[in-house]
Each structure stands twice: as C-alpha cells, then as structure tokens.
Chains A and B, each alone.
Chain A
Amino acid sequence: MELTKNITLGVYLPGQSLIHRLDPRTKIISVTAIVILLLLIKSYYAYAAMLILLAFVIFIAVIPVGYAFRGLKPMLPVLVLMWVFQLFLYSGPSPKLLFTWWFFSATEAGFHMGNLITLRVFFLFTFTTLLTLTTSIVSLTDGLESLLNPLKRIGVPSQELVMTMIIALRFVLILAEELDKIVKAQMARGVAFDRGSFIHKTKKMFPVFLPLFISAFKRAEELIVAMEARSYTGGKNRTKMKTLHLGRVDLVAGLVMIVFSTLVMVLIISVKPQI
C-alpha cells in the first residue's frame, strides 16, 4: 500500500537541465499556449506534433520517461471510461455504424471523438505535470504572481490568489500521505479495499474520508497560525528576495514555442478535422 507513489502532479524533481533553469514565466506561458492549442486540435497529425514536443521536453529536462507518465496510472480507469462513453454516445452528423452491443451502437465518429478527447486529457495532464516537475514551488509562485500582477490594477488580489493556488498544490501530496495512513489503519482492522462490488467499495470510502477531512481542517488551521505567527500579510508592499530575469535560454525557448505554435496552427487549419 503506497498511494503517494503514483502522484506526480505538484511534485518537484530537482535538476539542472535547461528546462529547470528557464524563467518560470516562460514555462507558464508556454504551458498556457500548449493548453490553448490542445483545445483547438481536432486531428491526429497535430497530436503527432504535440507528441514530438512532449518527447523533446522530457528528453531535455532529463526526467525518467516512466516517471513522467506515472501520474496517469491512477487516472487510467477514468480515461478508459471516458473513451467508452464517447465511443457509444457520440454519433456526429452522418453516423457510420461500426458495431452494436446490446442497445448501444458505436459509430466511427464516436471512435475518433473518444481518441481525440483521451489524447487531449493525456497531453493536458502530462504537460502540466512536466511544469511542476521542473519548477520549484517558490519559482512557480513568483512566476504566477508576476504574470498576474497587471490584474492588481483592476482590483484582483493576485498575490493572495496565487498563494491559495500554491497551497492547494502543496496539499495534494500531504493529503495523499495522510490518506495512506488512514487507509492502512482501516486495513489493519479488517477492511478489504480491493474486494467487493463497486457499491461496496464506494461505501468503504466513507470511513476514510471523514478523518481525512478532519485532518485537512486541522492542518489548514495550523498553517494559518504558523503564517500569522510570522506576521504574514498578503498583497501590498511585499517584496521578493529573488527577482526574476529573462535570459538567453528563455529567448530560445520562446522562439521554439512560437515556431511550434505556428506549425500546429497551420496543421489545425489545413488538415481536415477527424470529426
């Protein structure tokens, strides 16, 4: 029993690679661009381009390939379920029947839709994971804050917003560790989490989440006290110990991203969509 093993989102893998050394703002903007592109892609060719970029980034960042995709493991049932739903429920404007099962019918459009959506989730998840794997919590905060700074003028409390987001990200792993302990304590008293029907399994989760929520509240309270004890005040007049600087690496990365985005946009426009 080790739940934390498969959590990669929010984990930072320290390193000295070019990707690690990029300014956090470059990385955040790049990932945002990728996310927008992913939402527009409707053909396999464009996804192939994405795959090349993904492989390139993983290679440069020196992240073990298995580890980059490890976080997908717990998501696998959801991905499969999503694919199956699309296959049977989406039919498109001119349905071409593939096969029927019981009273469900699978269409070719549904098949492609399933593939595209699953690929989209796969890339969204992997690219955001790569962002947190190569960016420490501190620089991620600094980067986000500096990007959201202009919004302060229209009254958005950007510093507090970023702080909240970062704390949430930090807590993913902490809560997973707590969940691990709680699950173990229940297994020790005869709960078989891996047995029984789906409803049975779901029912077994209730006694797990109650202590988890309570400990989450407790931790949140402790965090507040710890922050107040050090006189934390958000927002105005906070200065940074480290200021961010864009370097030559960022220029190169920016250029690569611009070329890549243009290429993908051309693919999106010129290639006939799959659905």
Chain B
Amino acid sequence: MSIIVENLCFSYKKGTPFEKKVLHDISLTVEDGEFLALIGPTQSGKTTLAQHFNALLIPHCGRVMVNEADTQDPNTDLVALRLQVGYVFQNPDYQLFAPTVGEDIAFGPLNQKLPRTVINDRVSEAMKIVNLVPEIFLNRDIYALSGGQKRRVAIAGVLACQPQIMILDDITAGLDPRGRDEILAVIRRLHREQNITIILISNSMDEAAEMADRIIVMNQGQITLEGKARAIFSHLDLLRSIGLELPESMNLVQQLQERGLAISSVPLNLDETIDLIAGSFRKGQGTT
C-alpha cells in the first residue's frame, strides 16, 4: 500500500480573516513497507501533512492517493481507508477515552462490527505486541497509567484495527529515556515483524537517524530535504538554519573531525559511533 501526494496545499480557517496557509505545493510518495521519518521544527506542517494521509484533512488543491484511492473522491470509503492507515496522536489523552485499557483497544474493531471473539483476539494480540501483559492490564483503569503506558495503549488501539500503514505523531515527546527506548523498540518490531509501513513524525534527529530508511525534512510548509539519513545529515548548515540539530552521535564525530581526528564515515547510531571512533584511534596508534 502506497501513498502518493501531488501538489498538495492546505490552509487552516480557510475563508475567514484568520486564514493561514500551512502547506505549499507538497509532492511526495510513501512506498509500501518503508520506514519514513518526517522531521522539522514545530509549526513546519508535519502533523497537518500527515493528517492528509488518512483523510482526516482533505487537500484544498492537489490530491492525495492512498492505495490508488483519491481522498477527495466522494466514492472513496474514507472509514475503511482510515482503518488501513492508522494514526497514533501526539497526546494520548485525546485518543484514550474508555474506562479500561481493554475497552479502549477494542474501540476500533468494535466500529468495524467484528464478532466478539475476533475482537478479543485482536485486543490481546495488540497488547502483546506493545509489551502490555493482557492478564495484568486488560481491566486496568486508563487514568491510572503512566505516560509511557498510555502511549503503548494508544498504539495498541490503532494496531487492533490491523492497519497496513501507521502514522506515529511525535509519540516519544515527554517520555523519560527508558520509556522512549521501549516505545521505539516496539515500533521497530512492528516494522520488521508485521511489515507495517511506518511514518514517524518527530523533531528528534536522533530518532530519525536511528530508525528511518528515508527522511523528509519540512520547514514552513514545504519539503526542504528528502533522502537517506546519511545524505540528509551532510546538509549541516541548512539543517541548522531551520533550527534543527544534528543527532548526538554525528555532533560528536563532527567535533572530533574538527579537532583533527580522521573519521571518514557518518554514523547513524551509538554502536556505529563507537566503532568509528575506536577504529580511528586504532589506526592512529598503528601509524605512530
């Protein structure tokens, strides 16, 4: 399942004195099975763009094709489309509303009018994927959960709809490092084991570099850069000028390079960074 966006533009409050153009002439393609990161400073239009992917917003010009179905076409079944393109929202409090974890996760399948047994299977399956033991959490009160647990319930709620594409909107914001790592591990597993196409919205460069196959950088409603992580991070000055920072690992390597350490490659995660630096030291010792 792929998403094709052609010359999309969108304004909030269109037709009022407060009209604000948020997206200008955006074209992009999301391939089936890829892991795409959408990054950019706040107010760059990431969320607005992503909400076009599952027809929560309809473009004012241009078009969005999800699996060959035009979201503007009145014959397109938008309800079915939204279940195929899952969306996990930035703030789980807006998404979770049922009294217990189990009921909330069952909300999507219930809307599909599936039989009870199928729903129960889907709920427990989704809970296992996000590392919530059904026996413990199924009847837990939603408002008694921690931030990280809420996020995982929100992901499970979308997973229970069995989407083929998942949009994750800044889901690590406000989590402690451990909660963040747990969530990212869940997402990695979803992509590898369930073959779900992932669109990760984030303003953390570290996350994007570690996780994604391809990165799209947005600024002021336009696509600034697009490509593989290593290629993106070579545009250091451009990224800094729009208020984004390099990932920690690259920052370290870059500063070491400036101080004369010979490192040729660009690392994307901690392990690669360690290998590169250690390797360069070993080489250095060999020559002296």
CB of B222 within 8 A of chain A? no
**What are 21 A-to-B residue pairs whose CB atoms are below 8 Å?**
A2-B12, A2-B13, A5-B15, A67-B17, A178-B94, A181-B94, A184-B56, A185-B87, A186-B97, A187-B56, A188-B82, A188-B86, A189-B83, A189-B111, A189-B157, A190-B108, A190-B111, A207-B97, A207-B98, A211-B93, A211-B96
In terms of DSSP, what is the predominant structure of the interface of chain A? Answer: helix
Residue B233, interface by CB 8 Å: no
| B172 within 8 Å of A (CB atoms) | no
Pick the contact of A211: B16, B79, B94, B158 (CB < 8 A). Answer: B94
Is B111 a contact of A182 with CB atoms below 8 Å? no
Known: A182-B94, A214-B143. 14 other contacts (CB 8 A): A4-B13, A5-B14, A64-B17, A67-B16, A178-B94, A181-B94, A185-B89, A187-B56, A188-B56, A188-B89, A190-B111, A190-B161, A211-B93, A214-B93
Chain B, interface size: which category? 20 to 34
By beta carbon, the residue of chain B nearest A11 is B18
Residues of B within 8 A of A4 (CB): 13
A191 to B107, CA, bound (A): 9
Q: Does B202 contact A (CB under 8 A)?
A: no
In the assembly, what is the distance between CA of A186 and CA of B161, in Å? 12
A149 contacts the other chain (CB 8 A): no
Contacts A1-B56, A5-B16 given; does A190 touch B89 at CB 8 Å: no
Q: Number of contact residues on A: which range applies?
A: 20 to 34
Interface string of B146-184 (1 = CB under 8 A from A): 000000000001100100000000000000000000000
Q: Does A13 contact B (CB under 8 A)?
A: yes
Known: A185-B94, A211-B97. A190 touches B14 (CB 8 A): no
Contacting residues of chain B (45-62) with chain A, CB-CB under 8 angstroms: 51, 54, 56-57
Interface residues of B in 101-145 (CB under 8 A from A): 107-108, 111-112, 143
User: Which residues 23-39 of A sit at the B interface, judged by CB distance below 8 A?
Assistant: none
CA distance A5 to B89 in the complex (A): 21
Closest to A218 in B: B93
**Interface of chain A residues 176 through 204 with chain B (CB within 8 A):** 178, 181-182, 184-192, 195
Determine the chain A residues whose CB is within 8 A of the CB of B98 once the complex forms.
207
CB distance from A197 to the nearest CB of B (A): 15
Q: Which residues of A contact B (CB under 8 A)?
A: 1-2, 4-5, 13, 63-64, 66-67, 70, 178, 181-182, 184-192, 195, 207-208, 210-211, 214-215, 218
> In the complex, which residues of chain B have a beta carbon less than 8 angstroms from the beta carbon of A66?
15
Contact between B86 and A190, CB atoms less than 8 A apart: no
Question: Measured between alpha carbons, how far is A182 from B93 in the docked complex, in Å?
Answer: 9
Which of B79, B86, B96 has the most chain A CB atoms inside 10 A of its CB? Answer: B79
Q: In the complex the two chains form, is A70's CB within 8 Å of B16's CB?
A: yes
Contact B56 A189 (CB under 8 A): no
Question: Which of chain A's residues has its CB closest to B94's CB?
Answer: A181
